[in-house]
Structure 1
Amino acid sequence: MRKTLKNIQVNVSPDKMKAFIIIGSSDDNNEFPSLEELVDFLNENGITYGINVELLNIIINQRLFNQELLVAEGTYPVDGTDGSLELFFNVKKDRKPVVLEDGKVDFRNLNLIESVKKGQKLCKAIPPLPGEEGKTVTGEVIAPKEGKPVKLPMGRNIEITEESDILIASIDGQVSYLNGRINVYPLYEVSCDVDNSTGNIEFVGNVIIRGNVLSGFQVEAGGNIEIWGVVEGATIKAGGNILIRRGVQGNGKAFIISEGDIVTKYIEHSNVDAKNDIRAEAIMHSTVKCGRKLELSGRKGLLVGGNIQAGKEIEAKVIGSQMATFTEIEVGVSTALHKTFTSLKEEITKLQNGLKKTTQVINILEKYRASNMLTDDKKEMLAKSLKTKQFYASRIPQLKYELNVVEEQLNKESNGKIICHGVIYPGTTITIGSTTYNVKKDLHYCTLYKDGTDIKVNPLR
């Protein structure tokens, strides 16, 4: 908006939040508008809010000609604050085992379980705070962005009060806050080993086993699972967290699957998959996947052999072994995305091999046809081979395009790192995103991370 009256010009910013004036010089520079005249002039030109009277007086006193001067400013709106939750229990107790003075790790006293009583208050919704209106220099009101009410994280065995803003437990049990929901699980206790005397265990709530889980058996819980002894070649599945106080000796047959965290003393010859974090003192010759952080602590802090995948970070003392045991580590991307990347590469290789063989068959059959030795069976084979070649020729570029898209995603998401508080031995391969680093010599006290298309090794700080 631009208007001129005599030798005074008003300019307003496109968002109408600032107004400027320019007072042009005249034949008689002794004439200068008064404060009242300037304010009236601004009002006549639509400037009715945020006028800086103090600045106008300075302009008049100093007779400031031919300068664009900011004389009015609007007020920006203040957005409202979203609602929040007030929790009345410990949301996430620290599942990190305590390292004792002698360097051992205490996996017995983790105090992960928090019990609640029926009717106990668990959380309250705090309402959103309103915002404040803004106003332009032309007097137009600017509405703020209002805060959004919080959604109550209602899960299993939870009730909502009449006030509709408080959640309470509907049963006695153990409270859990996982993946955006509060649940209260009933408890099932087994005071002996899981063996032929108990059979497999399946329970909707939390399970505590005060013994071992023997090979061939299965324990499945909708909530958390706590095992005081050793897990052999068994299957353990939890909708919550898994705590195994002694460890997992899987003999290649153990499957430990958690929708939350997994904490155990050691994992050996096992298959382990946690949606969130995994903590242990040693992991040996296993296939391990975790969505966030894998932490090896205690005196050993050992990670050796097998295939290890972590979404964000791996921290250990010793990775690999002096015997150059093959240890494959992947970090910094979702396991699902990396699985897609690997699957596409394998499929492309398979199709390329198929194309090569099909082309060889076609070349041989074409020679038969050139020599008038092509029988009806061979004609049919040639027709099928040509169709197969056409399929390969069209499908391979499609898969390569998909592979490039996934590779770009891997590179964008590859912000993971590996922290070593001791040594990484040769025989270890480290993949961050789509970039692989083969360890050729001992790496001591270092951090590995991706920088562009390279993996950097920096001293540990």
Structure 2
Amino acid sequence: MDSLNEVLLIEVDNDALEVTLKQNLSLPEELKLEDLTLFLEEHGIVYGISKETLEKIVSKEISLPVTVAQGEKPKHGIDACLWTVLEGFKGDSTEVTPGDEDKNLKQVINIPSVTAGTIVGKKINPTPEEKGVSVYGEEIKARPGKDLKLRTGKNTRISDDGMEIISMIDGQVSVEPKVVHVYPIFEVNGNLDLNFGNIDFVGNVNIRGNVPSGFEIKAKGDIRVHGSVESAELVSGGSIYIHQGVVAQGKGLIDAQGEIKTSFLNQANIRAKGDIHVSKSILHSKVETQGRLFCNQGKGNIVGGSISAGVEIVVNELGNHMSTPTELYIGLSESIVTAEKKYKIQLKEARDDVQKLGVLLKRIVTKEAEGSLNAQEKIMKLRIRNSLFESNKLMQEASEQLGELEELFASQDDVKVKIQRTIYPNTVLNFGKYKRKIISKHDHVLFRIEKSEIKFETL
């Protein structure tokens, strides 16, 4: 029926997964199912056509516009991941109900010790992809889940089949992204005071009281504080857990290679490579994470200060009724860009050093093969080998760090801020080079970057 081109309009979505039939003129009385089917096929629509919907159009049971064809959306595979024994102990922290935040954090702090031979981590294999089909009958590719190779941590080994991480000592588990360590424990049974002084320990540190101003705690593993932290410096190669929050008067630093969990932050300086979970409030603080920031249990408000997250911020309330200036940075923070430059320079310098030292070592080994070396040459050979080892180590570190940063750069399209209750005026959102100042109150909204513009939608 040639006249259908004048009567009907076809609208295909950008992903070629949905076809909407719209009406331009009145439908002809003699319209048949075969006419509609042929009309769609002439426009290339051959897959996912709903015969039932077309029959209802013909019989005038439904009016246009209406969806008449749907393709199959591709399903990307799920990446392999690392399950750790801590997940089995802590449970799913996302299911915490209001009022249980303190209980949950206390459970995180009271991590049990493990014995030698305990399985502390397992690899969860990736899942395959499922290809999709467009309404034009064309295959839509999907991405398979990425595989993951388990790595040994401190005092752990990998099982023969490469699927499990096993503790080699009695100690306490510390988890980094993709790595599990087991460390010995240093414990203070009360407040940190001058009897102990500053702590620098190759393991986990457990403080059963408070950490006053001026003290320093450095740990290769996790730091757990059962009380509160004032303007002290806590630096962890693992994660940091503080039960009763941080009141720092703008001084001190909490810095973790893993995650940070606490109940509240007041004028604190916080930095983490992993996610940051604050159950109650973040007030006038400087907070930076390369991952996600969650402040959505209990009151869950952020007021004042500067908050930076590499992937996502989830908060109940942002700003306040008094329009206190509050600024958020989502995506690439200044420190991440600086870190990338630093590791690129380190990688280049280390590669150059490895090449130069390799040439020197080859010369001296050749000379040794042709005859004996004198005492000075033997010392030089040993120094070159040590320098070569250190340069290779620096090169590997830079390469691994750049690999992790590359994943962050690749995830910029999906960065977002989720406001579960209210965002108040005088809050500024920075998505990379794009900025948006909030001038009116909004409830239950999601902010994201779309076509070089910061847009929001209702949750």
TM range (shorter): 0.5 to 0.7
- For residues 271-350 of structure 1, the aligned pairs below 5 Å read 271-280=269-278, 281-337=280-336
Residue aligning to 2:214? 216
Residue aligning to 1:144? none
Q: Secondary structure at the match of 1:456?
A: strand
What's the TM-score, normalizing by structure 1?
0.57
Q: Deviations over 1:335-382 (max 9, x none)?
A: 5345689xxxxxxxxxxxxxxxxxxxxxxxxxxxxxxxxxxxxxxxxx
Decide which of 249, 252, 261 is 2:250's aligned counterpart: 252
Alpha-carbon shift at residue 446 of structure 1 (Å): 0.7
Corresponding letter in the other structure for 1:110 = Q
Decide which of 115, 118, 130 is 1:117's aligned counterpart: 115
Alpha-carbon shift at residue 457 of structure 1 (Å): 1.6
Residue aligning to 1:261? 259
Alpha-carbon shift at residue 172 of structure 1 (Å): 0.3
Determine if contact 2:304/2:325 at 8 Å carries over to the other structure: yes
Change (3 A) 1:422 1:105: farther
Corresponding letter in the other structure for 2:286 = T
Distance (whole Å) between structure 1 residues aligned to residue 165 and residue 327 of structure 2: 45
The percent of aligned pairs where both chains have the same amino acid is 34
Of 159-168 and 244-253, deviating more is: 159-168
Change (3 A) 1:442 1:151: closer
Change (3 A) 1:115 1:336: same
Gaps of 5+ in 2: 1-79, 127-145, 341-407
Q: Secondary structure at the match of 1:110?
A: helix
Residue aligning to 2:177? 179
Distance (whole Å) between structure 2 residues aligned to residue 412 and residue 123 of structure 1: 26
Decide which of 55, 71, 93 is 1:96's aligned counterpart: 93
Corresponding letter in the other structure for 1:441 = S
Distance (whole Å) between structure 1 residues aligned to residue 161 and residue 322 of structure 2: 65
Distance (whole Å) between structure 2 residues aligned to residue 194 and residue 428 of structure 1: 38
Residue aligning to 2:418? 419
Alpha-carbon shift at residue 163 of structure 1 (Å): 8.7
Distance (whole Å) between structure 2 residues aligned to residue 97 and residue 412 of structure 1: 22
Q: Deviations over 1:126-184 (max 9, x none)?
A: 999xxxxxxxxxxxxxxxxxxx9974411111246789986532210112342322211
Q: Deviations over 1:200-240 (max 9, x none)?
A: 11111111101000000011111111101110000011111
Alpha-carbon shift at residue 444 of structure 1 (Å): 1.4
Is residue 433 from structure 1 mapped to residue 432 from structure 2 by the alignment?
A: yes
Alpha-carbon shift at residue 286 of structure 1 (Å): 0.7
What's the TM-score, normalizing by structure 2?
0.57
Name the structure with the higher helix share: 2
Distance (whole Å) between structure 1 residues aligned to residue 123 and residue 417 of structure 2: 39
Residue aligning to 1:383? none
Change (3 A) 1:411 1:443: farther
Determine if contact 1:261/1:276 at 8 Å carries over to the other structure: yes
Decide which of 146, 168, 171 is 1:170's aligned counterpart: 168
Distance (whole Å) between structure 2 residues aligned to residue 101 and residue 217 of structure 1: 33
Q: Deviations over 1:318-340 (max 9, x none)?
A: 11122111111011225534568
Residue aligning to 2:450? 451
Distance (whole Å) between structure 1 residues aligned to residue 298 and residue 147 of structure 2: 47
Corresponding letter in the other structure for 1:89 = V
> How many residues are aligned here?
294
- For residues 366-377 of structure 1, the aligned pairs below 5 Å read none
Residue aligning to 1:442? 441
Distance (whole Å) between structure 2 residues aligned to residue 256 and residue 277 of structure 1: 13
Corresponding letter in the other structure for 1:170 = M
Alpha-carbon shift at residue 423 of structure 1 (Å): 1.3
Distance (whole Å) between structure 1 residues aligned to residue 225 and residue 95 of structure 2: 18
Determine if contact 2:108/2:241 at 8 Å carries over to the other structure: no
Change (3 A) 1:437 1:198: same
Determine if contact 2:83/2:124 at 8 Å carries over to the other structure: no
Distance (whole Å) between structure 2 residues aligned to residue 412 and residue 117 of structure 1: 38
Alpha-carbon shift at residue 268 of structure 1 (Å): 0.7
Change (3 A) 1:167 1:443: closer
Decide which of 154, 157, 160 is 1:156's aligned counterpart: 154
Distance (whole Å) between structure 2 residues aligned to residue 459 and residue 270 of structure 1: 32
Alpha-carbon shift at residue 123 of structure 1 (Å): 5.5
Q: Secondary structure at the match of 2:206?
A: strand
Determine if contact 1:87/1:123 at 8 Å carries over to the other structure: yes
Determine if contact 2:293/2:309 at 8 Å carries over to the other structure: yes
Decide which of 234, 238, 241 is 1:243's aligned counterpart: 241
Distance (whole Å) between structure 2 residues aligned to residue 201 and residue 120 of structure 1: 28
When Rg is computed on C-alpha atoms for both structures, the one with the higher figure is 1
Change (3 A) 1:329 1:202: same
Determine if contact 1:258/1:273 at 8 Å carries over to the other structure: yes
Residue aligning to 2:385? none
Determine if contact 1:212/1:227 at 8 Å carries over to the other structure: yes
Corresponding letter in the other structure for 1:252 = G
Q: Secondary structure at the match of 1:300?
A: coil
Distance (whole Å) between structure 2 residues aligned to residue 165 and residue 413 of structure 1: 31
Gaps of 5+ in 1: 1-83, 129-147, 342-408
Q: Deviations over 1:67-113 (max 9, x none)?
A: xxxxxxxxxxxxxxxxx899683457457376445576535433462
Distance (whole Å) between structure 1 residues aligned to residue 223 and residue 107 of structure 2: 13
Q: Secondary structure at the match of 1:450?
A: strand
Determine if contact 2:175/2:239 at 8 Å carries over to the other structure: no
Change (3 A) 1:291 1:120: same
Is residue 195 from structure 1 mapped to residue 193 from structure 2 by the alignment?
A: yes
CA RMSD for the aligned pairs?
3.6
Distance (whole Å) between structure 2 residues aligned to residue 120 and residue 288 of structure 1: 36
- For residues 45-60 of structure 1, the aligned pairs below 5 Å read none
